[in-house]
Structure 1
Amino acid sequence: MLPRVSLVKYQSDSASLQKALQLCEGFAKLKQTDRVLIKPNLVAWEDRYPIAPFGVYTTTRLVEDLIILLQDFGCRHISIGEGSVQIQKSVGTMQAFEGLGYRELEKRYDVNLLDLNKSKTEKFVFHDDLSLHIAKDAVDCDFLINFPVLKTHGQTKVSLGLKNLKGCLKLQSKKMCHHAKLNLEYCFSHIADFLKPALTIVDGIYALEKGALHFGNAYRKDLIIASTDILGADIVAAKTIGYDSGDIKHFEYYAKRHDRSLLLQDYEILGEKLEDQITPLKWDWTWTADNTGPGIFQKFGITGVALPKYDDSLCSGCSPIANMANILVLSAFKGRPLPKVEILNGKKMQARPGYEKTILLGNCIKKANEANPNIQEAVEVIGCPPSEQDVVTALKSAGLEVNETVYHGYMKEQSRKYDGKAGFEQAFFQA
Structure 2
Amino acid sequence: MHKPLRLLSKLATAIGLALSLQGAAHAEFAIPGFELVHTVPRETTLGTPDLRDAALVWKEMFDGAQREIDFGQFYVAGQDGEALDDIIAHLDAAGRRGVKIRFLMEKKGEFASVAATIEKLKRIPNLEFRQLDYSKMTGNGIIHAKYFVVDGASAFVGSQNFDWRSFSHIHETGLKITDTAIAAQVQQIFEIDWQAQAAIAAGQAPAIQNHATVMADEGRGNYLVASPNAFNPPGVGDSESELVRLVAGAKQEVRVQLLDYAPLSYGPNHTRPYYAVIDNAIRAAAARGVKVKLMVSNWNTEQPAIRYLQSLAVLPNVEIRIVTLPRASTGFIPFARVIHTKAMSIDGRVAWIGTSNWAGGYLDKSRNLEVVLHDERMARRIAELHEQTWNSPYAEPIDVLRQYPKPVKGKE
Same fold (TM over 0.5): no
